[in-house]
Amino acid sequence: MADGKTHAQSNLIAGLLMTGASVWIPLPIEQIIGIAVGSFLGGIITPDLDIAYRTYEKNRVYRFNPTLGGLWHLYWFPYGWLMRHRGLSHWLFLGTLTRAVYLILPFFLLYLYFFWWYPLGCNQNAWWCMQNSWMNLTNSATAPFFRLPPAVYYAFGAWVIQDIVHILLDQVWSWLDLPYEYR
């Protein structure tokens, strides 16, 4: 359980290294952007969002902008409340997936509403839509949402690596029995 500041610094270094390496290789520009975005997301959306109160990592957003910090805290509060500290949130890969899904879900639902529910006329005929929902979903609006460009996978990969850095640091901290501070 390394402290927030150490986590932030190690994620910053890891993010710079990953993005730097992708430039050095060089990868196509979309994938470099994907890796940079994933590194950033992994640095700001960390496994320690399983703590509902105002931690060091949330304080960074508060310092950037108090209103944004409040909204950000509110957005992740249910996640922190639902997740046991260092439980599923700290699992390799799956932990990252819970946060990615949590982040995207509201936007996905909005997307479904505006590109599927609404154009199909489900507002007027909700029962019919639900009865035929699987057929409607698979052959229409959701297909483009799942046909993601490779850059998205690169972003997710970089995010997973950021979480690995976090999990390893937590391990080292508890092995060495170092003190920690979340705030």
Binding site for Zn ion (CB under 5 A): 47-48, 170
**Token reading at 111:** 């997307």
Closer CB to Zn ion, 38 or 47, in the complex: 47
CA distance 183 to 176: 20
Shortest Å, Cβ 167 to Zn ion: 7
Asked if 179 and 104 count as a contact pair (C-beta separation under 8 A), the reply is no
Where does residue 148 rank: exposed (0-12), middle (13-18), buried (19+ CB within 10 A)? exposed
Q: Which of 36, 58 has the CB closer to Zn ion? A: 58
Distance of closest approach, residue 166 Cβ to Zn ion, in angstroms: 6
Least CB distance to Zn ion at residue 169 (A): 8
Residue (43 or 48) nearer to Zn ion, CB = 48
What is the spatial distance between Cα 16 and Cα 36, in angstroms, rounded to a whole number? 8
**C-beta of 27 vs 161, nearer to Zn ion:** 161
Secondary structure element (H or E) that encloses residue 141, with its range? none
User: At closest approach, how far in Å is the CB of 165 from Zn ion?
Assistant: 11
